[in-house]
Structure 1
Amino acid sequence: MALIVLSVNQSYNPGAELWIVPDFEHSKIATKLDWYNSFLAGKMTRKETKKMDSYLVEILEETELPDFKYESSTKDVILIPTKSKFPNRWTAFVPYNGDLANWSGKINKLYLDLKNPSLRIFLPTNLSLSEFTETWRSISSVEDLSIVLEN
């Protein structure tokens, strides 16, 4: 695996089109990156889905149409175009819930959906490089990436 391990100070250097950042609870650097993005990710995580108006619910019941649930969750990936703010193309805030395999799978899916951009992953606080690489190898065939350790 051709990894480049970076310190937090080196993480702002050019070298990857897509930066992956854990949620605010699991990363100190997420808050700093969000500050430079006018707190956009923070706003998105606090946004609540509006409930359907009672009048519409009545119409759905009367017409026997299926109930539509337009729910998005703060557990979803937040992808922000950051070319004007950072030396990258996108920054993705990918929530980490302690399940490393699930988190890695979300990253790999996003990577594939975006047509394989160069990748920099900011690891959650206190996650070891060896633990991540072992899990990553079992999920993804991507070998060229940079990793940022917060520890």
Structure 2
Amino acid sequence: MDTPTADAGIYARDSAYLDCHVQFGEAGDRIISLSFPDQPDPDSGDDHPLLDRIEDYLGGVEDGFDDVTVGLTVPTDQRRVLEAVREIPYGEEGTVAQVTRMADMDPDESEDLTAVREALAANPVPLLIPDHRVRDGPSAAPPPVEQKLRAVEGL
């Protein structure tokens, strides 16, 4: 019996709103990376339903991307932080201290706050894990992209 192979690939599309490309890597049914390069990977395709959704989102259609399966290959503490960030709803924002509590860490411990900031900065899939909704934390998206993502959601 043949084992089915998982779809994998890199997809990118130019975003006039962001003034860059939106590019993501997919392995099977999981998105494993998302970035905002000036030029896409030369082997990337531009036809993918998620690119359509992102384009609609950037055009003002509310979408929290909650149903998109993300494949996180990060340490456990970072995973807890990023999963907590994913719980911040579209159009709302939180703080590093709130995310620290959501991740069952102590916001009164500087080490925990630092760990949260490091996890946000290392987020492999910004937008899908909306670090732009953490108003006083770093985003893995470039600052101009982060500000435009915040503007889309009225933050």
Normalising by the residue count of structure 2, what TM-score does the alignment of the two structures yield?
A: 0.27
**Which structure is richer in relative contact order (CA contacts within 8 A, separation 6 or more)?**
1
Normalising by the residue count of structure 1, what TM-score does the alignment of the two structures yield?
A: 0.27
Q: Of Structure 1 and Structure 2, which has the larger fraction of its residues in helix?
A: 1
Q: From the CA coordinates, give the structure whose radius of gyration is larger.
A: 1
